[in-house]
């Protein structure tokens, strides 16, 4: 890796396989609203674009989020990255998300800032992301073909109206690709998450991998669909099959010819705290932080 990129990833547990043994991340759940509907999501739970479905995180205000971040940073010295990943879409809640980033870049300038998004509002937010020195952005891109997109996204909310089917998916895909190009043009590292949905986009994700690599994405993270009926998602209710571990690995291997693949993702909660795969969130709930002062 070139030195300027190594410097950005060497202490980020998601962007570097090596770093995840030594560095921790935390998420603050400040972003409740979402501007699209994914068939693998139930709004009662965290955004499933970057989180384990079926989990409910403790929603907080930007001020509470900053307080929590400072408390965790003091208690866990390996904590190098603060991410906003839900419980809805961070960029569909720009005031709350950017207020949190603004306060943190002032009060804790050593902590790297990270965000994940479905990409619909991304082109409008790129200037603001760059202004707060956000070097790591994840876009969930499940397809580049609107016909496939219509099977994943029943609707988007765009310019104050709901747009359904292929037309909605086409706009979402255009915004995601435009956002990706704008970020890489500024040297911001982009990770692409894709949810592997058997029979829907599994045959298509290798093409997604090729295209996002060509546009400068740094890393591709193919995650398995989790569609348990009790989570009440459309796919869960319709009995959509999940990929097997072998199918997931075969797809990751197939994409790896074109692209650096992330294989250590743990599908964290929107309020996760600690090393990847470890969740110390319960030690830092708001009531506990209040008693730490």
Q: Which residue is nearest to ligand CLF (CB)?
A: 83
Site string for ligand SF4, 7-46 (x = CB under 6 A): ---------------------------x-xxx--x-----
Interface residue with ligand CLF, options 266, 279, 280, 283 (CB under 6 A): 266
Interface residue with ligand SF4, options 48, 57, 64, 151 (CB under 6 A): 48
d(CA 281, CA 7): 28
Interface residue with ligand CLF, options 35, 57, 116, 177 (CB under 6 A): 116
* Residue 116 within binding range of ligand SF4, rule CB under 6 A: no
- Contact (CB, 8 A) for 146 and 173: yes
- DSSP letter string, the chain: --HHHHHHHTT-TTT-TTGGGT-EEEE---B---SEE-TT--TTS--TTTS-TT-------HHHHHHHHHHHHHH-TTEEEEEE--BS-GGGSHHHHHHHHHHHHHH-TTSEEEEEE-STTHHHHHHHHHHTT--EEEEE---S-HHHHTTT-SEEEETTEEEEHHHHHHHHHHHHHHHHHHHHHTT-EEEEEEEE-TTTTTTTHHHHHHHHHHTT--EEEEEE----GGGT-HHHHHTPPPPPHHHHHHHHHHHHTTS-B--------TT-EESTT---GGGG-HHHHHHH-
Q: List the strands of the sheet with 36-37, edge to edge.
A: 36-37, 155-158, 161-164
Site string for ligand SF4, 62-101 (x = CB under 6 A): --------------------------xx------------
Interface residue with ligand SF4, options 118, 121, 176, 193 (CB under 6 A): 118
Which residue, 84 or 171, has its beta carbon nearer to ligand CLF?
Answer: 84
In whole angstroms, how close is the CB of 113 to ligand CLF at the nearest point? 9
* Residue 267 within binding range of ligand CLF, rule CB under 6 A: yes
Which residue, 56 or 237, has its beta carbon nearer to ligand CLF?
Answer: 56
* Residue 260 within binding range of ligand SF4, rule CB under 6 A: no
Interface residue with ligand CLF, options 28, 85, 148, 275 (CB under 6 A): 85
d(CA 218, CA 28): 24
Which residue, 16 or 42, has its beta carbon nearer to ligand SF4?
Answer: 42
In whole angstroms, how close is the CB of 231 to ligand SF4 at the nearest point? 11
- Region near ligand CLF per CB under 6 A, out of 58-66, 178-186, 246-254, 261-269: 261-269
In whole angstroms, how close is the CB of 81 to ligand CLF at the nearest point? 5
d(CA 233, CA 226): 10
In whole angstroms, how close is the CB of 265 to ligand CLF at the nearest point? 3
Which residue, 25 or 204, has its beta carbon nearer to ligand CLF?
Answer: 25
Contact positions vs ligand CLF (CB under 6 A): 14, 25, 27, 50, 81, 83, 85, 114, 116, 136, 138, 191, 221, 265-268, 276
Contact positions vs ligand SF4 (CB under 6 A): 34, 36-38, 41, 47-49, 88-89, 118
């Amino acid at each position: 890796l070139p030195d300027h990129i190594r410097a950005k990833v060497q202490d980020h547990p998601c962007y570097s396989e090596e770093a995840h043994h030594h560095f921790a991340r935390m998420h603050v759940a400040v972003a409740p609203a979402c501007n699209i509907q994914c068939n693998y999501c139930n709004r009662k739970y965290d955004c499933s674009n970057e989180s384990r479905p079926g989990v409910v995180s403790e929603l907080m205000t930007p001020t509470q989020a900053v307080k929590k971040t400072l408390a965790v940073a003091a208690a866990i010295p390996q904590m190098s990255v603060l991410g906003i990943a839900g419980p809805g879409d961070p960029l569909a809640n720009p005031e709350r998300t950017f207020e949190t980033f603004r306060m943190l870049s002032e009060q804790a300038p050593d902590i790297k800032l990270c965000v994940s998004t479905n990409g619909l509002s991304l082109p409008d937010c790129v200037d603001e992301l760059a202004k707060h020195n956000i070097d790591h952005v994840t876009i969930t891109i499940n397809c580049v073909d609107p016909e496939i997109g219509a099977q994943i996204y029943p609707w988007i909310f765009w310019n104050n109206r709901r747009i359904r089917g292929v037309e909605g998916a086409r706009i979402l895909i255009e915004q995601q690709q435009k956002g990706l190009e704008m970020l890489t043009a500024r040297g911001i590292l982009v990770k692409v998450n894709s949810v592997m949905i058997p029979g829907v986009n599994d045959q298509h994700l290798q093409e997604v991998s090729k295209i996002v690599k060509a546009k400068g994405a740094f890393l591709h993270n193919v995650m398995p669909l989790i569609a348990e009926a009790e989570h009440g998602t459309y796919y869960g209710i319709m009995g959509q099959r999940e990929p097997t571990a072998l199918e997931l690995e075969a797809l990751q291997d197939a994409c790896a010819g074109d692209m650096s693949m992330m294989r250590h993702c743990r599908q964290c909660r929107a309020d996760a705290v600690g090393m990847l795969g470890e969740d110390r969130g319960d030690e830092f709930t708001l009531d506990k932080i209040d008693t730490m002062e």
